[in-house]
Chain A
């Protein structure tokens, strides 16, 4: 009974066959799923970035403004559209409650995407790819990103950032 003290000598009572087999399978599985993570870091192509810097939000804003000024090609819904060259350092700014600028990228090209927030926590979710990364004030998070599909993508904020959270939608264009 699980509500009474076990029989004396319980520590030495042997395991039944089914228990032994299951515990062995489970233990091997746990080692396997642990090793899968470093394995994917070496051989996989989708990993969480390990490149990040601390940055003052005002300084980040200045850098993003300069980036927008340099590469603007138009405007949509009041948000500048930028078309940076392949391989460039590109920037995305999260603030209550908008993403800017709108990025125009090329399929198959690799970019260094900087993410940071001007105020509170946000998170970038690329729809419909369903890729999600946290956007943190005071931290510049650098993703080495290669779009492999083309079309129009939305950026949805998926970290609660105040009452207007659900209206925080941005855009990325990927041209083939």
Chain B
């Protein structure tokens, strides 16, 4: 599909970046929680 410059999905790109940042922060936070429990292997 051909898009004019003003028709590009800029807003969705910003939204998906917010999603990605949320994802990576929560992901790292959970590794941090895990590192605080008793040692087990």
Contact = CB atoms under 8 A, between A and B. Distances in A.
Contacts of B3: 16
B40 A143 contact: yes
A29 B19 CA distance: 13
25 contacts: A16-B8, A17-B8, A18-B10, A18-B12, A18-B13, A22-B13, A25-B20, A26-B20, A29-B20, A36-B31, A44-B35, A45-B39, A45-B40, A45-B41, A46-B40, A47-B41, A49-B41, A110-B39, A126-B38, A129-B37, A130-B37, A145-B38, A146-B40, A147-B38, A149-B38
A131 B37 contact: yes
Contact of B40 (A21, A29, A36, A145): A145
Majority SS at the chain B contact face: helix
B13 to A, nearest CB: 5
A13 to B, nearest CB: 7
Contacts, number: 60
A49 B41 CA distance: 5
A154 to B, nearest CB: 14
A57 B37 CA distance: 30
A144 B38 CA distance: 10
Contacts of B20: 25-26, 29
Interface size of A as a range: 20 to 34
A18 B11 CA distance: 10
Contacts of B39: 45-46, 110, 145-146, 148
A131 B8 contact: no
Interface in B4-39: 8-10, 12-13, 16, 20, 23-24, 27, 31, 34-35, 37-39
